[in-house]
Amino acid sequence: MEYAEFRRSLNKEVMPVYLFEGEEVYLFETGLKAITDLCVTSPEINAVTLQGDGLTPEALLPLVSALPFLSQKRIVAVRDYYPKSSVLSGALSPLMRGDFSDTVFVIMNQKSCDALKKIKTVRVVSCGRQDAATLSKWAIKRAESGGKKLSVTAANLLVTYTLSDMIKIANEVDKLICYVGDADEITEADIENAVTKDSEYKIYELTDSIGKKNYEKALKILNDMIYGGEQPQKLLSNVYFYMRRLFDVAISDKPDSDLSKIFGVKEFAIKKAREQVKMFKLKKLKKTVDALADYDYMAKSGGLDFGSALNLAIFNLTTD
């Protein structure tokens, strides 16, 4: 089920096992909090969160079988837990059947786990990236809860700068509420002045300026990143992988959703890449990627310092 449906379902019933799955970690946390607020008194006593790596049934079962203390239920949450089918049908079968009615077991996984999803008692909640329109509305409501107005245009700009990351949007809205002080509204100018742009967005902005042949702006963005503490080695690597992604997107016929999983980035980033590749000729992209790979190799092997390699990379990008 989708996350919004999960929130509505809590009004009717609470399942024994939940699997929050997807890349939007913010939804994991708010989902876990919603269950905890509904079912648990004194979470410091009746709620525990574990890491799934190396977690054995012998360590888990005593926690889920324990009785709550002066509370309706206990919560046992596990991050990044990918048990095998044999474990679920064996030692953990009582938990998967829902035998421990006094405990809600919550699993929070960024990657898929087919073994868990095949079990009928496991309520799977999709926590994928939300679309830009949904995030803009959410940012506006969060600003309103802090007593500030936020226009759709300003909210869209905020979503763009944070690359649709809900944790970053939440943090930036909270920061902006304090930043504007007694003002009634958070403006686009406030966002331009106060919001920390996602590093991926900065690389997008750099290459976008180059694609539009606005080299003065591109150099300013590059200098701002360097003076802001970004190391030439990291910048060179980021520019190389970004241009490589542009080339791969240009030659691929796969849908954006598939490419986002392949590259491990948000779907929003793939959409932006599709817009950008139109500004570059395919041959130019291929030559640039090859040149960047050479500069990266020369720097790592000691043939060039990373500052010089980065300068050569930018020079290659700005020449036809």
User: Apex CA 248: angle with CA 245 and CA 252, to 5°?
Assistant: 140
* Whether the Cβ atoms of residue 54 and residue 79 lie closer than 8 Å to each other: no
Coil, helix or strand for 74? strand
**Predicted pLDDT at 62:** 93
Residue-wise pLDDT tens digits, 97-141: 889 999 999 999 988 899 999 998 899 999 987 888 899 999 999
Out of 41-50, 177-186, 260-269, least confident range: 260-269
Residue 287: pLDDT above 70? yes
Residue 217 pLDDT: 86
Q: What is the DSSP letter of 1?
A: -
- The pLDDT of residue 142 is 94
pLDDT above 90 for 184: yes
Per-residue confidence (pLDDT) for residue 175, from 0 to 100? 92
The pLDDT tens digits for 1-36 are: 899 899 999 988 899 999 999 888 899 999 999 999
Q: For 70-84, how does the pLDDT look when each residue is reduced to its tens digit (9 = 90+)? A: 899 999 999 999 999
CA 242 → CA 210, 234, 270, 293, distances in Å?
Answer: 13, 12, 11, 12
Whether pLDDT at 222 is above 90 = no
- pLDDT at residue number 234: 85
Q: How confident is the model at residue 238 (pLDDT cuts 50, 70, 90)?
A: confident
Mean of pLDDT values over 264-278: 81
Confidence at residue 272, expressed as pLDDT on a 0 to 100 scale:
82
What is residue 84's three-state secondary structure?
coil
Mean pLDDT computed over every residue of the chain: 89
DSSP state of 128: P
Task: Give the pLDDT confidence score for residue 146 in this predicted structure.
Answer: 93
Helix (H) or strand (E) holding 83: none
Structure tokens at 171: 């943090």
Instruction: Name residue 76's beta-bridge partners.
Output: 48, 105
Q: pLDDT at position 145, please?
A: 93
- Residue 300 has which token pair? 């790592």
* Per-residue confidence band for 320, with pLDDT thresholds at 50, 70 and 90: low
pLDDT at 258: 86
Give dist(CA 257, CA 276) in Å, integer. 17
- pLDDT attached to residue 227: 81
DSSP codes of every residue in 218-282: HHHHHHHHHHTT--HHHHHHHHHHHHHHHHHHHH--S-HHHHHHHHTS-HHHHHHHHHHHTTS-H
Mean pLDDT of 238-266: 86
Chain CA centroid to CA 296, Å: 27
Q: Could you tell me the pLDDT band of residue 242, with boundaries at 50, 70 and 90?
A: confident
pLDDT over 90 for what percent of the chain? 48
